Amino acid sequence: MGEVKVVACNYAVNTKTARKGSLCYVLLSNPGSGNDRIFILNRSRGKRWIERWERIDRLTNFRMKIVVAASSIYDRVKNHAYQEPGPFQSAEIRERIARLIDMRPRVGSYGFEQKGVARL
C-alpha cells in the first residue's frame, strides 16, 4: 500500500475560498526570500479541491501528515511529497525560523511586525 508524507496546515483566517480552520496541503514552497507565499491544495467552500498560491501568514498549525493511496487526494500530492531537506535547504529553513522568532502577527491586518515595537 502506497503512502506519502506531506505538510498539512490550517487557515488562520477566513478567506474568499476557505473557512478559518479548513485543512490544506503544502505543494510547493516559495524559494524567494521576499514574498512569503506557498502553493497549497485546499478544499474550497464549494467542496472542490483547488490549488492556489496563499500568503503564509494566513496559515497556521503546520505539521507532517501521511496520505495513503486510498485517499482521494493521493494522486495530487504524491508528486509533491516531503523529502528530507539537504544541507542548503536546512540552512534556509533555520534562517526563516530565526527571522520569525522576533516577529508577532500584525493586529488589524495581515503580516508580521517586530516584537517590542509599540502598537498605535
Q: How many CB atoms lie within 10 A of CB 24?
A: 23
- Whether residue 53 is predicted with pLDDT greater than 80 in this model: the reply is yes
How far is it, in rounded angstroms, from Cα 39 to Cα 32?
Answer: 13
pLDDT for 4 equals 83
Q: Which residues contact 71 (CB under 8 A, 6 or more apart)?
A: none
Lowest mean pLDDT among 22-31, 33-42, 47-56, 99-108: 99-108
Give 88-108 pLDDT, tens digit per residue: 566 676 676 666 666 666 666
Mean pLDDT calculated for residue range 38-50: 85
pLDDT: which is higher, 116 or 23: 23
Look up residue 85 and give its three cell numbers: 531537506
Mean pLDDT calculated for residue range 76-86: 65
Q: Is 20 left (phi over 0), alpha (psi -120 to 50) or beta?
A: beta
Q: Which helix (H) or strand (E) holds 119?
A: none
Please give the backbone phi and psi of residue 39, each rounded to the nearest 5 degrees, phi first. Answer: -90, 120
pTM score, whole prediction: 0.63
User: What are the boundaries of each domain within the chain?
Assistant: 3-83, 84-120
